[in-house]
């Protein structure tokens, strides 16, 4: 029996292209794994009314880790139109399979490395090397939202908050409320994960990203908890910054940052900024990580216009596989894989279109495998 069971979820569009290239590399590494295909994506919404079928959830629950490509998603109303006509009007509502995977498996960490590999023509500048820990389960993504606003809620808010005065007499369908919910436990575990990572990978500092000067209750809680957690890590510095200033500092003084930790929304926004610093969508990889389960993915979507053309850059997906190896405890293989990626980038002979080259997705996979 293989040492690991890996759920293999290509999903839609270029998800399959990049995972095919990733498989070439993992095979070359001779990872002792059984790869088990899982159904996910648009096709399953259209056919079955569920983009993340129960059988796939079960697969995720019995495997050691998952590699996920990308999915196509559409707004609820547009999705309804493409659903199997026999199923329309029967209460099926399109829900994002990624968000559901995070919730169902309690994948509370979204880890996004941000590293400028020397020689990548798309680097914003050289020497960038930090990681972002984005909280993945709560904050403004908690889904506690009202539009139109229920009258009871409006009355309670009018009673409890002076700041609600400008809104309290508005017609209920003329405003909307999205609740930012941050818990002490949810904040603590992501902040702790960031400090643990800093310790394990010998990073000198954790930077807490927030907007506590304005969003006092929730971000204030996040920052207070960070200060508490930091006490247990005297070997690691902690500093903090407002999210807006952070965007500026990340461009200006990138080398000052090592590990960032942020609530969900700020983490989401900063992560995309960070991906662009080091080459954009072809390089952005991420791990959705919980206590027992983890799903690794390139951060890009299904890019339908390139689907099946084997044209896009698989490096994001291959670096996601490197993160998976690290998470499985296969540190040597992870290091070897990263060294091969770095070598191919530095050499500059094999480049996909986004890097200004003409190599295919599979050529890139083969070139990286050949360096192993
Ligand atoms: P996208 O990320 O799929 O692609 C945008 C553009 O970026 C592409 O047209 C292409 O020019 C470039 N690109 C993306 N990946 C690349 C790669 N590996 N190498 C080189 N260039 C690459 O975003 P878009 O077009 O906004 O969304 C397409 C679909 O993907 C939508 O249905 C969207 O909802 C979904 N999506 C899924 C995500 C996921 O599965 N995690 C994340 C983002 C979007
Ligand atoms: Mg995003």
CATH of the domain at 192: 3.40.50.2300
pLDDT in tens, 225-246: 999 999 999 999 999 999 999 9
Pick the catalytic residue: 125, 244, 346, 349?
Answer: 244
Residue 133 CB neighbour total at 10 angstroms: 29
Q: Per the domain annotation, does 45 fall within a domain?
A: yes
pLDDT in tens, 192-214: 999 999 999 999 999 999 999 99
Q: Per the domain annotation, does 118 fall within a domain?
A: no
In sequence order, the 6+-apart residues with CB closer than 8 A to the CB of 316 are 18, 281, 282, 283, 284, 285, 298, 299, 300
Residue 230 and residue 305 in one domain: no
pLDDT value for 330: 97
In sequence order, the 6+-apart residues with CB closer than 8 A to the CB of 208 are 191, 222, 223, 226, 238, 239, 240, 241, 260, 261, 262
Which pLDDT band, with edges at 50, 70 and 90, does 16 fall under? very high
Q: Which of 67, 303, 321, 356 to mutate to test the pocket of ligand 1 (most atoms within 8 A of CB)?
A: 303
- Do 133 and 197 touch, CB atoms closer than 8 A? yes
Which atom of ligand 1 has the smallest separation from the CA of 314?
18
In sequence order, the 6+-apart residues with CB closer than 8 A to the CB of 167 are 154, 157, 175
108 catalytic per annotation: no
pLDDT in tens, 313-363: 999 999 999 999 999 999 999 999 999 999 999 999 999 999 999 999 999
Q: What is the 3-state secondary structure (H, E, C) of the chain?
A: CCCEEEEEEEECCHHHHHHHHHHHHHHHHCCCEEEEECCCCHHHHHHHCCCCCHHHHHHHHHCCEEEEEECCCCCHHHHHHHCCHHHCCCCCCCCCHHHHHHHHCCCCEEEEEEECCCCCCCECCCCCEEEEEEECCCEHHHCCEECCCCHHHHHHHHHHCHHHCCCCCCCHHHCCEECCECCHHHHHHHHHHHHHHHHHCCCCEEEEEECCCCCHHHHHHHHHHHHHHHCCCCCCEEEEEEHHHHHHHHHHCHHHCCEEEECHHHHHHHHHHHHHHECHHHCCEEEEECCCCEEEEECCCCCHHHCCCCCCCCHHHHHHHHHHHHHHCCHHHHHHHHHHHHHHHHHCCCCCHHHCCCCCHHHHHHHHHHCC
Tell me the mean pLDDT in the region 33-52. 97
The span from the CA of 116 to the CA of 284, in Å, is 11
Q: Per the domain annotation, does 138 fall within a domain?
A: no
Where a domain ends, among 178, 202, 221? 178
13 alpha carbon to ligand 1 midpoint, in Å?
Answer: 9
Which pLDDT band, with edges at 50, 70 and 90, does 143 fall under? confident
Indicate if the pLDDT at residue 99 is higher than 90.
Answer: no
281 alpha carbon to ligand 1 midpoint, in Å?
Answer: 8
pLDDT value for 35: 98
Tell me the mean pLDDT in the region 254-261. 95
Domain count, the chain: 3
Residue 292 and residue 304 in one domain: yes
Residue 213 and residue 291 in one domain: no
308 alpha carbon to ligand 1 midpoint, in Å?
Answer: 14
Q: Per the domain annotation, does 119 fall within a domain?
A: no
Where a domain ends, among 248, 277, 306? 277
pLDDT value for 277: 95
Residue 204 and residue 248 in one domain: yes
Indicate if the pLDDT at residue 2 is higher than 90.
Answer: yes
Q: Per the domain annotation, does 133 fall within a domain?
A: no
Tell me the mean pLDDT in the region 129-157. 95
Q: Per the domain annotation, does 172 fall within a domain?
A: yes
Confirm or reject: Cβ of 282 under 6 Å from ligand 1. yes
Confirm or reject: Cβ of 312 under 6 Å from ligand 1. yes
Residue 79 and residue 161 in one domain: no
Indicate if the pLDDT at residue 76 is higher than 90.
Answer: no
Residue 222 and residue 294 in one domain: no
Where a domain ends, among 260, 277, 294? 277
Q: Which of 300, 312, 345 to mutate to test the pocket of ligand 1 (most atoms within 8 A of CB)?
A: 300
The span from the CA of 289 to the CA of 268, in Å, is 15
The number of the ligand nearest the C-alpha atom of 79 reads 1
Please classify residue 125 by burial: count the beta carbons closer than 10 Å to its beta carbon, then call 0-12 exposed, 13-18 middle and 19+ buried: exposed
Residue 88 and residue 5 in one domain: yes
Pick the catalytic residue: 16, 115, 211, 322?
Answer: 211
The span from the CA of 11 to the CA of 40, in Å, is 5
Distance of CA 74 to the CA centre of its chain: 19
114 alpha carbon to ligand 2 midpoint, in Å?
Answer: 14
pLDDT value for 28: 98
Residue 3 and residue 101 in one domain: yes
Q: Quote the percentage of the chain above a pLDDT of 70.
A: 100
pTM higher than 0.85, yes or no?
yes
Residue 19 and residue 104 in one domain: yes
Tokens of 17: 């292209």
- Name the residue at shortest CA distance from atom 40 of ligand 1: 70
150 alpha carbon to ligand 1 midpoint, in Å?
Answer: 36
Confirm or reject: Cβ of 305 under 6 Å from ligand 1. yes
Q: Which of 281, 320, 341 to mutate to test the pocket of ligand 1 (most atoms within 8 A of CB)?
A: 281
Instruction: Give me the CATH number covering residue 45.
Output: 3.40.718.10
Task: Please state at what angle helix 315-328 crosses helix 331-347, rounded to 10 degrees.
Answer: 160
Confirm or reject: Cβ of 300 under 6 Å from ligand 1. yes
Residue 28 and residue 103 in one domain: yes
Q: Per the domain annotation, does 50 fall within a domain?
A: yes
Residue 107 and residue 151 in one domain: no
Residue 263 and residue 341 in one domain: no
Tokens of 55: 């059988």
371 catalytic per annotation: no
109 alpha carbon to ligand 1 midpoint, in Å?
Answer: 22
Q: Per the domain annotation, does 192 fall within a domain?
A: yes
Domain that holds residue 162: 145-178
pLDDT value for 103: 86
Confirm or reject: Cβ of 46 under 6 Å from ligand 1. no
Distance of CA 241 to the CA centre of its chain: 21
141 catalytic per annotation: yes
219 catalytic per annotation: no
């Amino acid at each position: 029996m293989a040492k690991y069971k890996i759920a293999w979820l290509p999903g839609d569009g270029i998800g399959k292209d990049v995972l095919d290239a990733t498989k070439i590399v993992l095979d070359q590494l001779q990872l002792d794994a059984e790869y088990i295909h899982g159904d996910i994506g648009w096709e399953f919404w259209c056919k079955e009314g569920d983009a993340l079928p129960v059988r796939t959830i079960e697969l995720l629950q019995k495997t050691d880790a998952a590699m996920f490509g990308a999915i196509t998603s559409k707004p609820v109303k547009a999705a309804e139109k493409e659903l199997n006509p026999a199923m329309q009007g029967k209460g099926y509502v399109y829900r994002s399979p990624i968000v559901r995977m995070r919730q169902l498996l309690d994948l509370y960490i979204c880890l996004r490395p941000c590293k400028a590999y020397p020689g990548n023509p798309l680097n914003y500048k050289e020497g960038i090397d930090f990681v972002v820990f984005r909280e993945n389960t709560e904050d403004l993504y908690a889904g506690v939202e009202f539009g139109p606003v229920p009258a009871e809620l409006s009355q309670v808010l009018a009673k409890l908050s002076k700041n609600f005065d400008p809104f309290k007499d508005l017609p209920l369908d003329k405003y909307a409320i999205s609740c930012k919910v941050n818990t002490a436990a949810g904040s603590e575990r992501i902040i702790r994960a960031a400090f643990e990572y800093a310790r394990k990978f010998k990073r000198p500092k954790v930077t807490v990203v927030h907007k506590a000067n304005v969003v006092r209750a929730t971000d204030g809680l996040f920052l207070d908890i960070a200060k508490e957690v930091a006490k247990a890590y005297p070997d690691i510095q902690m500093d903090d910054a407002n999210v807006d200033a952070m965007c500026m500092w990340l461009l200006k003084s990138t080398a000052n940052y090592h590990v960032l930790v942020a609530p969900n929304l700020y983490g989401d926004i900063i992560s995309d900024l960070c991906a662009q610093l080091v080459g954009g969508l072809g390089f952005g990889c991420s791990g959705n990580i919980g206590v027992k389960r983890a799903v690794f993915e390139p951060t890009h979507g299904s890019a339908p216009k390139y689907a099946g053309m084997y044209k896009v850059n698989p490096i994001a997906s291959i670096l996601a596989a490197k993160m998976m190896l690290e998470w499985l405890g296969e540190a040597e293989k992870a290091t070897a894989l990263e060294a091969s990626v770095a070598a191919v980038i530095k050499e500059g002979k094999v480049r996909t279109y986004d890097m200004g080259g003409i190599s295919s997705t599979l050529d890139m996979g083969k070139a990286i495998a050949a360096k192993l």
